[in-house]
Amino acid sequence: MKVTVGMGSCGVAAGAGESLEMLKRSVIGSNVTLVGCNGLCYLEPIVEIDGKAFVKVNEKAAGEIVKLINGEPNDAGQYAIKQDDLNNINGQTRVALANCGVINPENIEEYTARAGYTAAKKCVTGLTPEQVIEEVKTSGIGGRGGAGFPTWFKWNAARSSPGEKKYVICNADEGDPGAFMDRAVIEGDPHAVIEGMLIAAYAIGSDEGIVYVRAEYPLAITRLEIAMKQAREKGFLGQNIFGSGFSFDMRIKAGAGAFVCGEETALIASLEGERGMPRLKPPFPAQKGYQKKPSNINNVETYANIPWIIRNGGAAFSAMGTENSKGTKVFALTGKIKNGGLVEIPMGQSIRDVVFGPGGGIKDGKAFKAVQMGGPSGGCIPAELADTLIDYKTLAATGAIMGSGGMVVMDETTCMVDTARYFLDFTCKESCGKCTHCRVGNRRMLEILERICGGEGREGDIELLSELAEQIQSGSLCQLGMTAPNPVLTTIRYFRNEYEDHINHKKCTARHCKPLLTYNINEQCTGCTLCAKKCPAAAITGEVKKPHVINMEACVQCGKCAEVCRFGAVEVD
């Protein structure tokens, strides 16, 4: 009997560590081990017994599972996974996530038992570098970091660049709010990333690799370190790999969490010990990258796909997806959605398919309003465009981008003006400050949005935002600045009425921006006095068991009265 406990960051945060220790202490004669996240983050902690899953396994549930394993009377059935949740994962097409939640990421034997490192051996001992690049070209895979640039082209450019010393770099600096795809892959299947980098190194002629991973991912770093050590012990990293004469090793660089270091030239500057600031291109990293040597940079998900492509053939990968976007894509579902977690689907499904399929729809019976794709560099796609197909070209037409794969789902209570303000605030804080358009222009846009959300919007603000956005896009040095206005432009494009309500009527349609809200107590008030007691401004008056009144001139619009009222007597407008 094999017992596994999901020990990704989501599982650990939900208490999976305690469940694992309890099972290890209490279960006799079973192989109790850990696995990474299987994507069903909303059900963590997850325990599987010979493939049968139990969810939300707290200490009490773990006790019932122990009884089940030991053949004692138990109530473990109430924690068994529901069929709908099982369908969520069974209905996916998994390539990058194929081993996540299945193998122990700290045991290389479990990876090799599932054909691990056979793709690397096939390349190093049986294919020329040119043949490897051709197979990747056949697959049609584009970079999964956001741009979708053809992977084979970058590899071929690095191989063609003169120089004996070349580098393979993995961009694991996943900084988008609401994105956690790369973290889950490294935590759940680090050897796939190592093997993908090994194949890339052979293809371009490199003997050294670097994984640039944000320091906020300590579990991912730990598991990657363990995997690298095991790979060296097995001879998959180091000198004379597979007896071929080809040598390759790699190391980890922990970044300090700067969003701009997701841009490849800023990442290279950080690797070199400099401040993470982008530079002009060309020269491109494939020509002059890390230490001014030819360098290939791909993200975690891109490398994790490579072993599958080599084992199954580029044509098999290309058969999935659309004409413009081949293969599968991993998405992180967050926000106002029932089933938050990871999903991997073939390109070409619609946003609606994802949100109302594996995502389970909107929480609390609220109406679906929009989805933010591409993080701070992306845009808000409204519900009426939910049938938009997920591929690079189609999403770009909406004003959003694929990005690394974050999907932040929003419901009717989400203020789109405040959403734009939130993402622009993030971008302003993460700007490296090198160019004026990004450093100053985005700050001016943020100040306007803060005024609008604060009830001080002016006529002409929408036009001013659009004008500033155009100048920032045309004048910024790197993609962080060029794309920073996207959330503002898409919310103006699709939700202009909310901007107009904020500015002209001093009202927040979603009832979110507190300075724009008014409060009134209706006839349902029982005179319990709780609202008056909790009001920090003493703006509520009235006698016991008689209707109360709010003095709006004294009200600070904190919303405490509506929060504590048990009778629905406080109306918010």
Strand ordering across the sheet containing 208-214: 238-241, 246-255, 208-214, 167-172, 295-299
All CATH 3.40.30.10 domain ranges in the chain, comma separated: 3-88
Q: Which residues are CB-contacts of 543 (< 8 A; sequence separation ≥ 6)?
A: 527
pLDDT score of 28: 75
Backbone angles phi, psi at 376, to 5 degrees: -60, -20
In the block, tokens 């980890």 appear at: 252
pLDDT score of 496: 97
Q: Which residues are CB-contacts of 462 (< 8 A; sequence separation ≥ 6)?
A: 492, 496, 499, 500, 503
Residues of the chain short of pLDDT 50, as ranges, are none
All CATH 3.10.20.600 domain ranges in the chain, comma separated: 328-411
| Rounded Cα distance, 522 and 443, in Å | 42
pLDDT score of 375: 86
Residue 340 DSSP one-character state: -
Residue 382 DSSP one-character state: E
What are the pLDDT digits (tens) for 5-60?
999 999 999 999 999 999 998 887 778 999 999 999 999 999 999 989 999 999 88
pLDDT score of 366: 95
Mean pLDDT taken over the chain: 94
The tokens of 354 are what? 């994802």
CATH for 416-504? Answer: 1.20.1440.230
Task: Check if the beta carbon of residue 547 is closer than 8 Å to that of residue 525.
Answer: yes
The count of other CB atoms within 10 Å of the CB of residue 67 is: 14
pLDDT score of 184: 96
All CATH 3.30.70.20 domain ranges in the chain, comma separated: 517-572
CATH for 517-572? Answer: 3.30.70.20
Q: Which residues are CB-contacts of 229 (< 8 A; sequence separation ≥ 6)?
A: none
| Rounded Cα distance, 502 and 50, in Å | 56
| Rounded Cα distance, 126 and 207, in Å | 18
pLDDT score of 26: 87
| Rounded Cα distance, 299 and 310, in Å | 18
pLDDT score of 466: 96
Q: What is the pTM of this model?
A: 0.93
pLDDT score of 27: 83
H/E run at residue 195: helix 190-204
Is 562 exposed, middle or buried, given 0-12, 13-18 or 19+ CB atoms closer than 10 A? middle
Fold of 108-318: Rossmann fold (3.40.50)
**For residue 109, how far is the Cα from the chain centroid?**
29
Fold of 328-411: Ubiquitin-like (UB roll) (3.10.20)
All CATH 3.40.50.11540 domain ranges in the chain, comma separated: 108-318
Task: Check if the beta carbon of residue 26 is closer than 8 Å to that of residue 331.
Answer: no
Backbone angles phi, psi at 260, to 5 degrees: -65, -20
Range 3-88 has CATH code 3.30.300.30 = no
pLDDT score of 330: 95
The count of other CB atoms within 10 Å of the CB of residue 221 is: 20
All CATH 1.20.1440.230 domain ranges in the chain, comma separated: 416-504
